[in-house]
Structure 1
Amino acid sequence: MAVEPDDVKFVSALDDAAKKKAKEELNELNDKDRALAVQTLRQWALQQKWLKTPTDFGFLLRFMRARKFSQLGARQTLENYWKQKTKSPAWFRNVDPHDKTIVEILKTGFYIIPKARDKQGRRIVIEQLAKLDMTKVKKTWGLDNVFKAICLCCEYLTKDETVQVHGLCVLLDDTDVSMSHIMSMMGQENGKKIMEYYQEPNDLTRP
């Protein structure tokens, strides 16, 4: 079994309600079974010569939770996770949350993640495309950097154990959204990439 020294150091940060939900809805039975499932997935990942991936406990655990501890489902999701990054390298390479362009884009407030959660314990994401000045996007920031900012937020969220268990609630505010926003953000090429990124079995934030 592929065991790493840090495996025994993992301590779930979930509260009792989240642990109960993980057990009932995600088949996460106990610490021993969880560790065995992660180690089994790690062993498989290490055998895939083409798959260059982190294998630390916390990283692999989110793939197990995303597919309700199905080994086959977790493997498919892990594969697709890296395939999507390969298909859209401009969205995922050299990502720096302190990058001036990324910070400016996020400061527009077009993609907001409040600290408060809904009644089901889900993190909330509010998307307001109208807050993006598409002229500035095209001439200064670049559309790829907008998607890079979105993917950065998604990556941050999926590291949160409560998101792994409870999922997300995404609110789309289309007030004042123009045809320029729609055509730029959901044009044929980008639209296809977005659908591939979010569609099952790629979506790690699915409750």
Structure 2
Amino acid sequence: MFKPSHKRPVIEWGFTRFNRMFLNIHFNRILLNAPESVPKENTMFLINHSAWWDPLFIFYLNDQVIHSDGYGMMHEDGLQKFPFFRSIGAFSINSSNRKHLMESLSYSADLLSKGKTVWIFPQGAEQPLEKRPLEFFSGISYIVQKAPHVNVVPVSIYYALEHERKPNAYITIGEPLPQEGYSELNRKSMTHYFETAATKQLNELRTRVVQEDHQLFHPI
């Protein structure tokens, strides 16, 4: 059964502070490359998913950088195990149940039409960081078709063990993808367009990390 978000401000406040401390304990540095202005409303953020840490970084980015009324998809099984996440903006998705899937996608479109932001792992499940192609699911294009004026912003996370005991997390927030590039495409082609843009951004981030080119990044 589809479970919508049920935000509770007190819990959001407490988790925000815990999450800041938790990530800063476990990572040496969190480094960001982002435009001067990132849209805070009516925006769908597409983020690659390779680690358990990713949902915590979504919350951290929204807290430290975006400052939006943000929501995120979470698999039904995970939300059943940890219903607490509904209190901080998570809602359920189950792609193996068509009714559940359509309710989740429609709920996403409705949130966006109300000016919220929605964070999505378009790979659908955690995948190895270096796996290509990223293989996005077409539900993201369904959402765009239902909320046609949405901003679509790719977000890339790359984890690296470098010269310290703890890993570094490198994050790139891209510019909103130009709507003229995808608005007239069918769902399959639109999904491919989003996947291509996100792959290019993630590969560029990987190259900068491997070459230790840190000029564009600042700590958050």
Q: Of Structure 1 and Structure 2, which has the larger fraction of its residues in helix?
A: 1
Q: Of Structure 1 and Structure 2, which has the larger fraction of its residues in strand?
A: 2
Greater RCO, CA 8 A, separation 6+: 2
Q: TM-score, normalised by structure 2?
A: 0.26
Q: TM-score, normalised by structure 1?
A: 0.27
Q: Rg bigger for which structure? A: 1
